[in-house]
């Protein structure tokens, strides 16, 4: 069954003037008989196989991949065209069904707005799914889903219908995907693994983050009320072990010394090493105990 709004791995079926028709089942190619030989007999399907209808989707000619031929496997994105017919593309959408993203409004009409999601046909955002009036040219945080009632792929800015902090199964220091959303009084709200809300505290972030950007993060704590604290680096001893290697490598790359010390501002530590001041101090302490570095008033040096 075709997965609308997602990537599908399909087989090239037949060719037409408009492009290639793709199917989920690999087509049976019957070899031509040799001279003087009878054509091979292909057994008829029985039962469920005979009743099954092979669903086809058109890959327009302009999206064809060089070397396409019958039976070849291809990965394409499947959605619906302006006449609600299934269509495949080799274009890369900015978001797929079951994901959140910041998208730009291209057009406002009497039935809703249309968003740029990287494909020829724009993504529909109905009026009923707008948490606030939208403006052409502005970006909004939306969620993409398949509406079974209308059989269409649509967007909603009522994102809390899909992003919830229920049934959270995350552990401290677990690596997660973070999508940057918006700032509040304590930090930056993020979406964790396209499932839950989380918070990055502002006093632990020393790099510029853009709305809609995806970054690697780590779980700090899952609170009893369901709120989730996250960070851009691992925490505790595990973090120090990893960052110890980062610091050693940076020292080697810089001729054995780095102009950092215990009083260096957090911004400088992050600019040079890409880590927090807290983790930097842990890594320095470990390397000093192992007698691998020496400390001066202004530098860290390899022994």
CATH 1.10.8.60, domain 236-302, yes or no: no
Using CA atoms, how far apart are residues 174 and 218, in angstroms rounded to an integer?
5
Confidence of residue 53 (pLDDT cuts 50, 70, 90): very low
Query: ∠ CA 249-250-253 to the nearest 5 degrees?
Result: 90
pLDDT (average), residues 208-234: 93
What pLDDT, in 10s, does the model give residues 285-300?
888 889 998 988 888 9
Domain span(s) for CATH 2.40.50.140 in the chain? 100-161, 175-231
Contacts of 93 (CB under 8 A, 6+ apart): 77, 79, 117, 118, 119
pTM: 0.76
Confidence of residue 229 (pLDDT cuts 50, 70, 90): very high
In 3D space, the residue among 200, 127, 117, 189 whose CA is nearest the CA of residue 160 turns out to be 189
What pLDDT, in 10s, does the model give residues 164-215?
998 899 999 999 999 999 999 999 999 999 999 999 998 888 788 999 999 9
CATH 2.40.50.140, domain 175-231, yes or no: yes
Domain span(s) for CATH 1.10.10.10 in the chain? 236-302
What pLDDT, in 10s, does the model give residues 123-170?
999 999 999 999 999 999 999 999 998 889 999 999 999 999 988 999
Domain range 100-161, CATH architecture: Beta Barrel (2.40)
Q: What is the CATH number of domain 1-29+53-91?
A: 2.40.50.330
Domain span(s) for CATH 2.40.50.330 in the chain? 1-29+53-91
């Amino acid at each position: 069954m075709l997965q609308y709004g997602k990537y599908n791995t399909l087989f090239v079926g037949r060719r037409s003037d408009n492009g290639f028709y793709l199917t989920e089942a690999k087509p049976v190619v019957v070899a031509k008989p040799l001279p003087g030989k009878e054509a091979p007999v292909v057994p008829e399907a029985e039962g469920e196989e005979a009743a099954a209808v092979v669903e086809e989707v058109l890959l327009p000619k302009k999206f064809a991949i060089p070397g396409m031929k019958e039976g070849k496997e291809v990965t394409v994105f499947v959605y619906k065209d302006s006449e609600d017919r299934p269509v495949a593309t080799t274009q890369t959408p900015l978001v797929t069904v079951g994901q959140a993203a910041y998208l730009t409004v291209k057009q406002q009409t009497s039935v809703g707005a249309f968003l740029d999601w990287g494909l020829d046909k724009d993504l529909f955002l109905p009026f009923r799914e707008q948490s606030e009036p939208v403006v052409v040219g502005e970006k909004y945080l939306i969620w993409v889903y398949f509406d079974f009632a209308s059989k269409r792929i649509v967007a909603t800015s009522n994102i809390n219908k899909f992003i919830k902090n229920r049934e959270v199964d995350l552990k401290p220091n677990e690596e997660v995907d973070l999508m940057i959303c918006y700032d509040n009084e304590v930090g930056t709200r993020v979406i964790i693994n396209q499932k839950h809300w989380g918070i990055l505290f502002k006093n632990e972030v020393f790099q510029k983050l853009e709305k809609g950007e995806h970054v690697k993060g780590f779980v700090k704590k899952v609170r009893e009320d369901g709120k989730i604290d996250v960070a851009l680096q691992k925490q505790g001893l595990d973090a120090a072990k990893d960052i110890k290697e980062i610091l050693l490598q940076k020292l080697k790359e810089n001729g054995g010394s780095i102009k950092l010390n215990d009083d260096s501002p957090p911004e400088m530590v992050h600019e040079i090493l890409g880590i927090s001041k807290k983790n930097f101090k842990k890594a320095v302490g470990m390397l000093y105990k192992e007698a691998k570095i020496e400390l001066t008033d202004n530098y860290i040096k390899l022994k």
